[in-house]
């Protein structure tokens, strides 16, 4: 397993629509393992493939941050099919280090998800997991969480980000 480099806000690969995953391969198993490893190393709850520069509809989530293997979720060509309620809380992104902002998300979401064997499942998430589903699926559509804010607030965030984050 290997920790991959996470691309950050401003990189055009974060803005692209991703392509559906086709037939499952051992290379994709390796990629998923690397993505879990990278999320863990960066202390993130989830990571989407575009964040390591790969525009595939693939994301990993682990709300236990490596503590509980049963909480590992692999999203493949996922789609939110239903949402319910509202939660308001802080959100951050490994591609926008140093920034956490309060954002409204649904309290519960239902996701249609493909499994590696090609069959489909419906999974649900509440609270943090619902937030993670929304956040990671947004990445696959080329959307970052800061884009939910208006231009003025976004500019404030951008200044804060530039102050905190110095590209090497």
Nearer to Zn ion, 8 or 24 (CB): 8
Among residues 56, 58, 93, 146, which is the contact residue for Zn ion, using CB under 5 A?
93
Task: Give the shortest CB-39-to-Zn ion separation in angstroms.
Answer: 10
Token code pair at residue 126: 């509440």
End-to-end CA separation in angstroms for the chain: 24
Task: Give the shortest CB-138-to-Zn ion separation in angstroms.
Answer: 8
d(CA 7, CA 165): 13
Nearer to Zn ion, 65 or 118 (CB): 65
- Going residue by residue from 57 to 86, which x/- string records binding to Zn ion, judged by CB under 5 A? ------------------------------
Please choose, out of 28-36, 93-101, 125-133, 152-160, the segment that lies near Zn ion by the rule CB under 5 A.
93-101
The answer to whether the Cα torsion of 143, 145, 150, 154 is positive or negative is: negative
Please choose, out of 30-38, 63-71, 92-100, 153-161, the segment that lies near Zn ion by the rule CB under 5 A.
92-100
Under rule CB under 5 A, residue 39 binds Zn ion: no
Q: Which residues are catalytic?
A: 136
CB burial of 37-63 (b: ≥16 within 10 Å; e: otherwise) equals bbbbeeebbbbbbbbbebbbbbbbbbb
Question: Please, how many CA atoms are within 13 Å of residue 57, restricted to the half-sphere of its CB?
Answer: 18
Q: Which residues of the shown chain bind Zn ion in the complex (CB under 5 A)?
A: 93
């Amino acid at each position: 397993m290997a920790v991959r480099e996470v691309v950050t806000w401003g990189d055009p690969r974060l803005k692209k629509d991703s392509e559906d995953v086709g037939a499952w391969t051992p290379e994709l198993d390796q990629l998923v393992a690397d993505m879990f490893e990278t999320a863990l190393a960066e202390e993130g709850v989830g990571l989407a493939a575009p964040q390591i520069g790969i525009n595939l509809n693939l994301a990993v989530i682990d709300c236990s941050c490596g503590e509980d293997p049963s909480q590992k979720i692999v999203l493949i060509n996922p789609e939110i099919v239903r949402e319910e309620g509202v939660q308001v809380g802080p959100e951050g992104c490994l591609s926008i280090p140093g920034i956490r902002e309060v954002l409204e998300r649904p309290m519960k979401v239902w996701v249609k998800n493909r499994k590696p064997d090609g069959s489909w499942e419906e999974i649900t998430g509440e609270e943090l997991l619902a937030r993670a589903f929304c956040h990671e699926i947004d990445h696959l559509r080329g959307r970052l969480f800061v884009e939910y804010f208006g231009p003025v607030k976004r500019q404030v965030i951008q200044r804060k980000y530039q102050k905190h984050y110095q590209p090497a």
